[in-house]
Amino acid sequence: MLPPDKDTAYKWKNCNKDALYSKLKRPLLIYEVHIGMSSEKEGITSYKEFTDNILPYIKDLGYDAIQLMAIMEHPYYGSFGYQVSNFYAPSSRFGSPVDLKRLIDEAHGLGLLVIMDLVHSHSVKNTNEGINLFDGTEEQFFHKGDRGNHPLWDSKLFDYGKPGVIHFLLSNIKYWLTEFNFDGFRFDGITSMIYTHHGLGKIFSSYKDYFTSETDLDALVYLRLANELLHKINTFSISIAEDVSGFPGMCLPVEFGGIGFDYRL
């Protein structure tokens, strides 16, 4: 596909977000939503329908932000977007990339921050539409052998120790922030990332459970790099970590730019 002509590219209307960022001085009230399942009609709700019908409803309810699920392209609709095949494509089920940009732009105009549910914890095994076996091998993006397969999710696991993987995922963060004007991310499934046992069957009742030979230091370094990058691109970017283990430091407020962020990794 050719890049859009300058005359047909989306023109952002609501670019001054100072008032939006002032919300970060207090805890956010976030509305988590799946675009396709956001209305009562039969079928899949589109970006356009969500923008026109659902955004005003969320605003009227008094929310500060929306967290969008299932944005990255995924072949299985029933996965709620958690089996990503194309990390650089908005899901075509809901409409065009321009429709998504308009949704985010209109949300900003209503005073709503927009957070993306970012899936960097794993990828689909599919070889026809995914990146598995992209160069003919498992190990271009993923760990070799059993370590590269999630035992419950039936998906492929990234090798965060590889520079190519780091560049691929960090570039993905920059892409969504700069091309679509997202205000930050909710990093999905980081418990699976930061432990080679993926948190399965673990209680995490003491500090010794967090720092063992089964802690993936490469994944922790990646998350640190990701957090630094998104705040370098936009000082006020929001980063939320979905972690069921309670890893020390993941939920501590951090002073950044004069504001106490409860949303940084």
For residue 6, what pLDDT is reported?
A: 54
Q: Answer whether residue 241 is part of any domain.
A: yes
pLDDT at position 23, please? Answer: 87
Return the pLDDT at 264: 39
Number of domains comprising the chain: 1
Q: What is the pLDDT of residue 200?
A: 96
Catalytic residues: 188, 242
Task: Compute the Cα dihedral for 141, 145, 147, 150 and give only its sign.
Answer: positive
Find the CATH number of the domain harbouring 56: 3.20.20.80
Residue type, 79: S
- Does any domain span residue 30? yes
Structure tokens at 259: 């504001």
Return the H-helix or E-strand segment holding 89.
strand 86-90
Q: Is residue 11 part of a domain?
A: no
User: For residue 254, what pLDDT is reported?
Assistant: 36
Query: Distance between alpha carbon 78 and the CA centroid of its chain, in Å?
Result: 18
Residue 159 is predicted with a pLDDT of: 98
Residues of the chain with pLDDT under 70: 1-8, 249-265
Q: Is residue 168 included in any domain, yes or no?
A: yes
Burial pattern 178-196, b for ≥16 Cβ within 10 A else e, equals eebbbbbbbbbbbbbbbbe
Residue 3, pLDDT score: 55
pLDDT of residue 93: 95
| 12 within domain boundaries | no
Q: How many Å apart are CA 53 and CA 161, to the nearest integer?
A: 44
DSSP state of 237: -
Give one DSSP letter per residue of 41-85, joined into a string: SSSPPPHHHIIIIIHHHHHHTT-SEEEEES-EE-S-GGGTT-S-S
The whole-number pLDDT of residue 212 equals 93
In a domain, 5, yes or no: no
At residue 56, the pLDDT reads 97
pTM of structure: 0.90
Please check whether residue 76 lies inside any domain of the structure. yes
Domain that holds residue 109: 18-261
Residue pair 251/210 in contact by the 8 Å Cβ criterion: no
Residue 7 domain-assigned? Answer: no
Are 132 and 142 within 8 A, CB to CB?
A: yes
